[in-house]
Amino acid sequence: MKMVLNTGSTIEEGRLAKGGEKLSEEYKRACGVGFMNPRDYDRLGCPERVKVTSSDGKYSVVVYAVCDIGMPEGMIFIPRGPWANMVVNPYTFCTGSPLYKGDVVEVEPTDEEVLSTEELIEKMIMSGGR
């Protein structure tokens, strides 16, 4: 399912990141998530996890799926952090800042596990990617 990706800070992301907890399970549970509208969540079959693939199809990340009535239909929100960074469009449009909001991604249910911060960084290094 095509969805619009938005990323940004959350209170939990900020608290854990600034507190030096980026390698913790709590950080993974707070930031390795994708919030989506209940209709979209239902259309995907109410999955525990989803795979989000970048607009160019080169990169993907698995996050926990979270049904959130506050999310607009057709949008997925991933908190700022390594999970979002895996699929954020790096093109800067000459601004020096990547496209953290508004890029189209592919979202699909998956049985794959959500990787830890360390595992994500290793995956980035091994793939020569983001």
Q: What is the pLDDT of residues 101-122, one digit of tens each?
A: 889 999 999 999 999 999 998 9
Tell me the percentage of the chain whose pLDDT exceeds 70. 89
| Average predicted confidence (pLDDT) for the chain | 90
Q: Could you tell me the domains of the chain?
A: 2-127 (2.40.40.20)
Q: What average pLDDT does range 69-82 have in this prediction? A: 96
User: What pLDDT sits at residue 129?
Assistant: 62
Q: How far apart, in whole angstroms, are the C-alpha atoms of residue 2 and residue 87?
A: 14
Residues paired with 39 in a beta bridge: none
